[in-house]
Amino acid sequence: MTTINRHLEAAGIPRRPRGSASRSTAIRVDPRAGDSALLRRILVGQDAAQRAERFLVVARHDTMTATAAELGVTLSILASQMKRIGADAGGPLITRAVRGQPLALTELGVEVQRELSRAFSVSEAEGPARPRGGSQ
């Protein structure tokens, strides 16, 4: 890790991943993150809000397949988004469903769900409607 990256990390300043776009959206933190250190790691970069919203939908279902069907996306897209949000949060957020057992949230997943639910409900109650759309 370079000296600059160590200083950025120590200061809590997000940096874009190697090879990603240099656009400001690659490092901009969503304002809904507020002062939460956890949400500041999760709600950064392009399509971060979409990943967060999809995580909240996953948390309400028993399987990723059911979630993907409701959202109208492929299972592989949803799985990669959940993997990315887990990596951003610092660990796995869900335990996938296996043979009759529904998926379950890990302790970190429960914490992320609570923080995201609070951040998204407050922003929807206080501010104007946020733009919808984007890629899958």
Query: Whole domain around residue 76: which residue ranges?
Result: 3-126
Is 132 part of any domain? no
Is 136 part of any domain? no
Per-residue model confidence as pLDDT tens digits over 14-49 = 776 666 555 655 667 778 888 888 888 888 887 888
- The amino acid occupying position 52 is A
Question: In the prediction, which pLDDT does 52 show?
Answer: 92
Helices (H), the chain: 3-11, 37-42, 48-60, 64-71, 75-89, 107-126
Question: In the prediction, which pLDDT does 24 show?
Answer: 58
CATH number reported for the structural domain that contains residue 111 in this entry: 1.10.10.10
Is 81 part of any domain? yes
Q: What is the pLDDT along the chain (136 residues), one digit of tens a residue?
A: 688 888 888 888 877 666 655 565 566 777 888 888 888 888 888 788 899 999 999 999 988 899 999 999 999 999 999 999 999 999 999 988 778 788 899 999 999 999 999 888 865 554 444 443 444 4
Is 134 part of any domain? no
Q: Is 27 helix (H, G, I), strand (E, B) or coil?
A: coil
User: How many domains does the chain divide into?
Assistant: 1
d(CA 126, CA 52): 19
Is 135 part of any domain? no
d(CA 78, CA 80): 5
Question: In the prediction, which pLDDT does 135 show?
Answer: 44
CA dihedral sign of residues 109, 127, 124, 21:
negative
Question: In the prediction, which pLDDT does 54 show?
Answer: 94
Is 109 part of any domain? yes
pTM summary value? 0.69
CA–chain centroid gap for 88, Å, is 7
d(CA 46, CA 24): 9
Is 96 part of any domain? yes
